[in-house]
Chain A
Amino acid sequence: MIDAIGRPQSVLVLGGSSEIAQAIVAKLVPARCATVVLAGREGPRLGEATARAKAAGAEVAEAVPFDATHIDHHRAFVDEVFDRFGDFDVVIVAAGVLGDQAVDEGDPVSAATVITTNFTGLASAMLAIAARLRHQGHGRLVVLSSVAGERARKANFIYGSSKAGLDAFSQGLGDSLVGTGASVIIVRPGFVVGRMTEGMAPAPFSTTPDAVADAVVKGIESGAAVIYIPSILRWVFALMKQLPQAIWRRMPG
């Protein structure tokens, strides 16, 4: 259970090898989060993340296979995980791919895979998760969105639109959960310097997985509905959305 000071005792991560998710787990475990279940593509990265959670002191740290594009399996996957491990106080949806805009624009199938991984696949998993959170009467669903979804840019509109879809979906899901004890926290980081963006020039107001994790842990405590990292991006993007199209499409990057 989440205690009066906002500390969860159990967490499930979709996209368990994501850097941001690992940074969040690294902060939750020392603050009493005893159960850590990392779902993601099987591989060394997921194994290492699980080992790190265990080493940090988690009583239960396990990896379970999850593929966002295997939509048919999502309900069974979610039911199995909840039946096996019990209630989850926090579920973090951190799965996602950046794709390669230049390649994807010329390859509709790979573009659709980005959108399935980032949006449709997560949407189906989140519906199954929301059903379990509603049933257990508590829990926070943390969704890693992005400011890229605030207004799609020509430089990364495939990724941006997938996050826009995920973000809008999460807003509606959050509203539908009001009064059930469960809630949704939408996290909108700016450019996160890390593995996913390796080799790219950081955009203004860039941030780090650690800063995102700090903000998410605070959000879990306070139950905030939407978090921007850094927080100034809330106002930057409120303004950006008002820019005339002709100026917006000339934005660099």
Chain B
Amino acid sequence: MSAPIGRHQLLTGWGCTAPTAAEVIHAVDPAVVDVAMERAVAAKGAQGRGLIARGLGRSYGDAAQNAGGTVLDATWLDAIHSVDLTSGVVTVGAGVSLETLMERLVPLGWFVPVTPGTRLVTVGGAIAADIHGKNHHVDGSFCSHVTAMTLVTPTGTFTVTPGSDPELFWATAGGMGLTGVVTDATVQMIPVETSYMLVDTERAADLDSVMDKMLTGDDAYRYSVAWIDCQSTGSRLGRSVLTRGDHARFEDLPDRLRRNPDRARAFVPRTLARVPVTAPSGLLNPLTVGAFNEFWFRKSPTHQVAKPHHMIPFFHPLDGIGRWNRLYGKKGFLQYQFVVPDTHGETVRRVIERLTEVKLASFLAVLKRFGPGDPGPLSFPMPGWTLALDIPVGYHALDQLLDALDEHVMQADGRVYLAKDSRVSPASFRTMYPRVDEFLAVRNRVDPDGVLRSDLGRRLGLCGTPAPTTVTKPTKPRRKRSTASTPRSRSPRSSKAAPGGGTSSKDTTPEEPTAAERTES
């Protein structure tokens, strides 16, 4: 057996549940990715445990874990290869975080096209989960703004663009790392004049009123999100604070900022506090969460228009608190995020009702609207409503409750988000993602031996461990998708061909694995 180049380590996702051990290899250079891939390929077969890439570990569940196998820490691939300040096209290592992109490029007038509720995700992770932000209804998800990527697969390294190999590109978009390791990506940024947002905030007394406001008003805003108080019941069920806005132009800013242009464009992330390892369990209970919700609702203005807010509190309010996931204590927590089409808006109400019935303390409940999805067969977004709920593990009937929510979501032809998931069943997954076989066909092309593996892939039956089970048949007949399955050009920008992004195109297959005989202990 070749000498280990990694370190044995227990890993979990952001939810701190279901730890498993893997050999973590720091991908300090793309060459290390090649070596790790060669080793994983050489060890294929019953004893091989495969390989998966990991970024900043913000997936809530088991997406970036690979029990007994190799986990490639891709945060080391942090080079910024090229930045075109005229076009806003950047080519970066997959381990570059969105925070780094913002820190470096906001002062130069460019912002990431899509940011989730945390900026502490890598570009590679953003592609693997095909992340969305508060602007999905306008700008779509992250991969719609990716023009090229370098993908290391068990059968070779490819430069993939939506034009060169659309199947592989879109299978990788939302493919949770199971089509290869992204080492570089070219991303089209969006122009901004300042690091401030002009924000409209309003309270909504109940769920119907917030959904109505969003249906009728969201199109006028680039960014929109509603925070929902999941503990109020009865006539106040689903009372919310709706926050919508767009990037502020320089002339929109108050005088004090205009007098100081550097400040108007400054983007300086700070960690205000860090939750210690020793945080006691049970800090977030119905009482504390209830008190927080009451405070948050009351502190929010009833109606406020065009108020300048810095990007940081607007997009990433929690990033100022390091390791806030520890607040949930030892048992950890999970996030339940689903999307349902517009025709099934009532599912949102039903889910919130189920949660309030059992008095589960959801600290963070966020409602957004999605625009059309992209062509990725495992990409999460589809037009409609998406609700995300943080839920602590420990409630005794949580399994049945969440399975019941799955049923509601499936009846509405909706689905849950794999980057958040840590518990959906293989059968439900197949119903929610009826195009999974398209994905598996592409995966089979680039990874015929099933070398790319993760705990999530094992759990959902996406990667071939030595056939312990018969293939799970979908419980429902497969539905036809109404959305087109052809790549759509969302904006003129994103349909541009990759302008010679400067990635070292490595279209050649790697050399044959060295005769490193691998025997497992």
Contact = CB atoms under 8 A, between A and B. Distances in A.
B125 to A, nearest CB: 19
B466 interface: yes
Contacts of B177: none
A59 B468 CA distance: 10
A1 B19 contact: no
B277 interface: no
A99 B472 CA distance: 43
B69 A1 contact: no
Interface residues of A, number: 29
A59 B21 contact: no
A60 B458 contact: no
B472 A137 contact: no
Contacts of A73: none
14 contacts: A1-B18, A1-B20, A1-B455, A4-B61, A4-B334, A60-B470, A86-B467, A135-B47, A135-B68, A137-B49, A137-B69, A138-B21, A138-B68, A181-B21
B384 interface: no
A133 to B, nearest CB: 9
A1 B459 contact: yes
B459 A136 contact: no
A179 B10 contact: yes
B423 A4 contact: yes
Interface in B323-381: 331-332, 334
A34 B68 CA distance: 21
Interface in A1-55: 1-5, 7, 9-10, 31-32, 34-35
B520 A138 contact: no
Dominant SS among interface residues on chain A: loop
Instruction: List the 8 closest A-B pairs by CB distance, nearest first.
Output: A137-B68, A181-B21, A4-B422, A137-B67, A86-B468, A4-B17, A138-B67, A138-B20
Interface string B306-336: 0000000000000000000000000110100
A5 B398 contact: yes
B431 to A, nearest CB: 15
B518 interface: no
Nearest to A88: B468
Interface string B31-46: 0000000000000001
Contacts of A7: 399, 423
Contact of B21 (A10, A85, A87, A180): A180
A31 to B, nearest CB: 7
B18 A3 contact: yes
Interface string B245-276: 00000000000000000000000000000000
A70 to B, nearest CB: 24
Interface of B: 8, 10, 15, 17-22, 46-47, 49, 61-62, 66-69, 331-332, 334, 393, 398-399, 402, 422-423, 425-426, 455, 458-459, 465-470, 472, 520-521
A135 B520 CA distance: 8
A35 B402 CA distance: 22
Contacts of A5: 17, 334, 393, 398-399, 402, 423
Contact of B68 (A60, A85, A181): A181
A198 interface: no
Nearest to B471: A59
B391 to A, nearest CB: 10
B62 A1 contact: yes
Most buried by A among B61, B398, B399: B399
Nearest to A181: B21
Contacts of A182: 21
Interface string A146-185: 0000000000000000000000000000000001111000
A83 interface: yes
Interface of A: 1-5, 7, 9-10, 31-32, 34-35, 59-60, 83-87, 131, 135-138, 179-182, 222
A86 B22 contact: no
Contacts of A86: 465-468
A60 B423 contact: no
Contact of B22 (A9, A35, A137): A137
A31 B399 contact: yes
Contacts of A31: 399
A136 B50 CA distance: 11
Given A84-B466, A181-B21, A3 B423 contact: yes
Given A1-B458, A4-B422, A5-B393, A181 B20 contact: yes
A10 B468 CA distance: 9
A76 to B, nearest CB: 15
Contacts of B61: 4
A83 B68 contact: no
Nearest to B69: A137
A60 B67 CA distance: 22
Given A1-B459, A181-B68, A34 B469 contact: yes
A84 B455 CA distance: 19
B67 A1 contact: yes
Contacts of B472: 34, 59
Given A4-B332, A4-B423, A5-B393, A85 B468 contact: yes
A87 B465 contact: yes
Given A136-B67, A137-B67, A35 B468 contact: yes
Nearest to B455: A1
B521 A135 contact: yes
Most buried by B among A5, A83, A84, A135: A5
B73 to A, nearest CB: 16
A215 to B, nearest CB: 13
Contacts of B17: 3-5
Contacts of B19: 181
Contacts of A1: 18, 20, 62, 67, 455, 458-459
A131 B47 CA distance: 12
A35 B468 CA distance: 7
Contacts of A131: 521
Contacts of B67: 1, 87, 136-138, 181
B332 A179 contact: no
Contacts of B459: 1, 3, 9
Given A86-B467, A87-B458, A137 B21 contact: yes
Nearest to B23: A137
Contacts of A32: 425
Contacts of A35: 468-469
Contacts of A180: 8, 21
